[in-house]
Chains A and B, each alone.
Chain A
Amino acid sequence: SAVISQKPSRDICQRGTSLTIQCQVDSQVTMMFWYRQQPGQSLTLIATANQGSEATYESGFVIDKFPISRPNLTFSTLTVSNMSPEDSSIYLCSVGEGWTEAFFGQGTRLTVV
């Protein structure tokens, strides 16, 4: 299994600013994933982050808005840029290796005011 730590657990931010969310895994993993869960909604995959290469974004998500770093096999960051109230969501980091299961962090609850 994998233990995932996300920071911050929650934040309230002013519109127009940016927030960087950190995700730390207790073991080395090839791929890390970032999801968004808008209020009352399901989880939507934002992007897949591979170490040593650019992240792969899903339809509707762009790098300028959600830049991702993956400097090593245990760490990744997601930045939510130029925030608006519509970005208020829970952002979750996930890892999965092979076909076992996906492990999720506790999430970062972001409120943009």
Chain B
Amino acid sequence: AQSVTQPDIHITVSEGASLELRCNYSYGATPYLFWYVQSPGQGLQLLLKYFSGDTLVQGIKGFEAEFKRSQSSFNLRKPSVHWSDAAEYFCAVGASSSNTGKLIFGQGTTLQVKP
């Protein structure tokens, strides 16, 4: 069965420091992978996605993620964190081969940014 694991429930980084959020997935076929961000009281916003091709994908707000098939990972990175990045981050894998709407989400990682 498909699953997504985000090993870090809570991460605190200083503003300006680099960030890496971990995501591991279990999926039988080529995965469709996503990172979403949820700010307090807000809906989900897509940061980036991987379908195929270049394994390093660029997203919005300066985020990037690298797909590593050998490690079943899709870690999210940002070279310099801003205070406004404090939010909940969800990694997700597409659960259907035909539609992006059916997603399996990881447990989420709460990012706290210290001034």
Asked whether any CB of chain A lies closer than 8 Å to the CB of B101, the reply is: yes
Bound together, the chains give a CA A45 to CA B105 distance in angstroms of: 9
Q: Are A101 and B34 in contact (CB under 8 A)?
A: yes
Contacts of B108 in A (CB 8 A): 41-42
Contacts of A48 in B (CB 8 A): 101-102
Q: Are A102 and B101 in contact (CB under 8 A)?
A: yes
Contact pick for B100, options A32, A42, A100, A107, CB 8 Å? A100
Asked whether any CB of chain B lies closer than 8 Å to the CB of A66, the reply is: no
In the complex, what's the smallest C-beta–C-beta distance from A74 to chain B, in angstroms? 15
Contacts of A105 in B (CB 8 A): 43
Asked whether any CB of chain B lies closer than 8 Å to the CB of A75, the reply is: no
Q: Are A42 and B44 in contact (CB under 8 A)?
A: no
Asked whether any CB of chain A lies closer than 8 Å to the CB of B90, the reply is: yes
Count of chain A residues near B, Cβ 8 A: 23
Count of chain B residues near A, Cβ 8 A: 23
Q: Are B107 and A33 in contact (CB under 8 A)?
A: no
Q: Are B102 and A42 in contact (CB under 8 A)?
A: no
Known: A42-B107, A43-B105. A102 touches B100 (CB 8 A): yes
Asked whether any CB of chain A lies closer than 8 Å to the CB of B19, the reply is: no
0 or 1 for each of B75-104: is its CB under 8 Å from A? (1 = yes): 000000000000000100011001111111
Q: Tell me the total A-B contact number using a CB cutoff of 8 A.
A: 61
Query: Quick one: which of A32, A94, A99 has the most chain B CB within 10 A?
Result: A99
Bound together, the chains give a CA A94 to CA B94 distance in angstroms of: 13
Q: Are A33 and B102 in contact (CB under 8 A)?
A: yes
Q: Are A101 and B44 in contact (CB under 8 A)?
A: no
Asked whether any CB of chain A lies closer than 8 Å to the CB of B42, the reply is: yes
Tell me the A55-113 residues at the B interface (CB within 8 Å).
92, 94-102, 104-107
19 further A-B pairs in the complex, CB-CB below 8 A; given A97-B99, A102-B46 = A33-B102, A41-B108, A42-B90, A42-B105, A44-B105, A45-B103, A94-B101, A96-B102, A97-B100, A98-B100, A99-B32, A99-B51, A99-B94, A99-B99, A99-B100, A102-B34, A104-B44, A105-B43, A106-B42
